[in-house]
């Protein structure tokens, strides 16, 4: 099986790399949007919890072998997410120990320290256990951790849950569980998701970020909104006070037209 046909190379600080990679995955997987029956906020849920995706990517960045010419690779398939890094487990850890509380043994202590101070990682070594717990809570199979020419974390998607229960029976040459003409291979972009969110009412940037499942406003979202504003696809509700804490965004006439074009392009 081949990954979903989209290729990105990210550059920047370690925080930028993590945020952009996480946002990339979240923009490609399925999103459930509820109604306001239970309250003012619209409930949203991704097929893979954001914290599970983030933990896998942060671990790959923090614990990779930086003497290697290899790069961290985040690959999304129709039935799974794979995060690979050119690294290995420290001698004191085993794959089985990762599934239980264990001591934190950072491969790159100088990198792990700022990630810890900014709450990207924990010192207690509970991250992999939290990933397993969260996947169970949302009905996903437990993540798999393997060492094969690097360290690989595999997170199974809901769409591939049936196939994931018997991964050994699927030969490498098998095609993806869904044909490329299905929505799996034509995921919604973050631009389209932002436009969709603004169809009912204007929203603030923090509200958009929350609806997208982000813990905080990401650099990627800031860039998307900036581009949409420059293209006059979005507009401020308070045009004379662009930096107001009450600022919200709404679709322009051009934005409604663009939304129609993008929606048509995302049909199978």
Say whether both 73 and 27 belong to one domain: yes
Are 43 and 143 part of one and the same domain? yes
Residue 2 has a pLDDT of 64
Which residue range is the domain that position 122 belongs to?
14-156
Find the angle CA(25)-CA(86)-CA(50) to the nearest 5 degrees.
Answer: 25
CATH number at residue 217: 1.10.10.10
Indicate whether 134 pLDDT > 90.
yes
Q: What are phi and psi of 115, to 5 degrees?
A: -65, -35
**194 and 238 co-located in one domain:** yes
| CATH number of the domain enclosing 130 | 3.30.565.60
Residue 34 and residue 113 in one domain: yes
Per-residue confidence (pLDDT) for residue 248, from 0 to 100: 95
Mean pLDDT over residues 257-263, rounded? 74
What pLDDT, on the 0 to 100 scale, is given for residue 172? 35
Provide, rounded to the nearest whole percent, the portion of the chain with pLDDT above 90.
27
- The verdict on residue 229 lying in a domain is yes
Based on the number of CB atoms within 10 Å of its own CB, is 172 exposed (0-12), middle (13-18) or buried (19 or more)? exposed
Residue 144 predicted with pLDDT over 80? yes
pLDDT value at position 162? 38
Which residues touch 151 (CB under 8 Å, ≥6 apart)? 60, 63, 64, 84, 85, 87, 88, 89, 145
**Res 238: pLDDT:** 93
Q: Are residues 108 and 50 in the same domain?
A: yes
135 shares a domain with 92: yes
pLDDT band at 235 (very low <50, low <70, confident <90, very high): very high
Return d(Cα 50, Cα 23) in angstroms, integer.
9
Co-location of 35 and 123 in the same domain: yes
Task: For the chain, give the number of residues.
Answer: 268
Answer yes or no: do 26 and 124 share one domain: yes
- What pLDDT is recorded for position 268? 42
Does 181 reside within a domain?
Answer: no
The structural domain count of the chain equals 2
Q: 148 and 20: one domain?
A: yes
Q: Which residue did the predictor score with more confidence, 224 or 156?
A: 156
3-state secondary structure the chain: CCCCCCCCCCCCCHHHHHHHHHHHHHHHCCEEECCCCCCCCCCEEECCCHHHHHHHHHHHHHHCCCCCCCCCEEEECCCEEEEEECCCCCCCCCCCHHHCCCCCCCCCHHHHHHHHHCCCCCCCCCHHHHHHHHHHHCCCCCCEEEECCCEEEEEECHHHHHHHCCHHHCCCCCCCCCCCCCHHHCCCCHHHHHHHHCCCCCECHHHHHHHCCCCCCCHHHHHHHHHHHHCCCEEECCCCCCCCCCCCEEECHHHHHHHHHHHHHCCC
Determine the pLDDT at residue 97.
Answer: 79
Report the mean per-residue pLDDT for the chain: 79
- Mean pLDDT of the region 141-170: 70
| pLDDT, tens digit (0-9, with 9 covering 90-100), for 174-224 | 333 333 333 333 446 778 888 889 988 999 999 999 888 888 888 888 888
- pLDDT tens, position by position, 2-58: 666 667 788 888 888 898 899 889 888 888 877 667 666 667 788 999 999 999 999
Q: In the predicted model, what is the mean pLDDT of residues 147-152?
A: 86
């Amino acid at each position: 099986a081949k990954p979903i046909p989209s290729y990105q190379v990210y550059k920047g600080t370690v925080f930028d790399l993590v945020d952009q990679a996480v946002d990339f995955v979240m923009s490609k997987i399925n999103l459930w949007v509820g109604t306001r029956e239970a309250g003012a906020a619209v409930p949203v849920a991704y097929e893979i919890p954001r914290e599970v995706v983030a933990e896998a990517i942060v671990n790959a960045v923090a614990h990779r072998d930086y003497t290697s010419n290899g790069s961290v690779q985040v690959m999304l398939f129709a039935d799974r997410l794979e995060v690979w890094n050119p690294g290995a487990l420290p001698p004191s850890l085993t794959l089985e120990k990762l599934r239980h509380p264990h001591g934190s043994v950072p491969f790159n202590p100088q990198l792990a320290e700022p990630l810890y101070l900014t709450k990207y990682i924990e010192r207690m070594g509970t991250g992999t256990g939290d990933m397993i717990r969260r996947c169970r809570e949302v009905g996903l199979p437990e993540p798999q951790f393997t060492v094969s020419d690097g360290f690989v974390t595999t997170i199974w998607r809901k769409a591939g849950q049936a196939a994931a229960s018997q991964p050994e029976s699927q030969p490498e040459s098998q095609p993806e569980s869904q044909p490329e003409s299905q929505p799996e291979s034509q995921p919604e972009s973050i631009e389209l998701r932002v436009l969709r969110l603004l169809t009912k009412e204007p929203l603030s940037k923090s509200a958009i970020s929350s609806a997208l499942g982000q813990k905080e406003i990401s650099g990627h979202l800031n860039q998307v909104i900036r581009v949409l504003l420059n293209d006059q696809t979005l507009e401020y509700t308070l045009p004379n006070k662009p930096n107001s804490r009450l600022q919200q965004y709404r679709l322009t006439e051009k934005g409604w037209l663009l939304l129609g074009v993008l929606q048509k392009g995302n049909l199978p």
